[in-house]
Structure formats: structure tokens, C-alpha cells
Amino acid sequence: MHTYRIGDAAALLGVSADTVRRLVDGGSLTAERDEAGRRIIPGPAPAAYARQLHRMERARCSGGCRDQVDQRGRREAADGP
């Protein structure tokens, strides 16, 4: 099975390595230890975490999100700046 080191998982998820460590410590992201004692993330774990975030976002917006993202990635209200 493919595994990711903390920094690689962070890059995949678009967060910092410290954030990945907090996610692991909090139980939101699965991790194991390699032979040297370093934390490694099993291959499917980042995808499972991303799916969980996506489901939470969809549930949050089920009534219709009013914020939109403009072409430069900035959030703006749907009915004006």
C-alpha cells in the first residue's frame, strides 16, 4: 500500500504539515508509524479526509450558500461586494 509522509500529505491536502499533525492527533486523519518511528499516512486516508470535508461543506450549504468565489479566488457575497 502506498503511504505519505506528513509533508507529502500536507501538500496533497493544501495545508501545512503542522495542520496534518493536528488532524492526526485529533483523530481526523489516520496515521501509522514506520520502522523509524515517523508518522506515515496510509494512501487512502487523505482522500477519505477530503471526501469527509466535501460532505460537510455540502451539508452546510444544503440550504444554498450565499458566498461565491470570484475569478481571483476571493469570497464575495452573492448579492454584492
Q: What is the pLDDT of residue 15?
A: 93
Largest Cα span, the chain: 55
CB 76: neighbour CB atoms within 10 A?
Answer: 12
pLDDT for 80 equals 47
Is the Cβ–Cβ distance between 45 and 28 less than 8 Å?
no
Q: What is the mean pLDDT of residues 19-42?
A: 95
User: Per-residue pLDDT tens for 37-68?
Assistant: 999 999 999 999 988 888 888 787 766 665 55
Which residue(s) pair with 69 in the sheet? Answer: 75
**Domain coordinates of the chain in residue numbers?**
3-60
Q: Which CATH class is domain 3-60?
A: mainly alpha
Cβ neighbourhood burial of 67 (10 Å; 0-12, 13-18, 19+): exposed
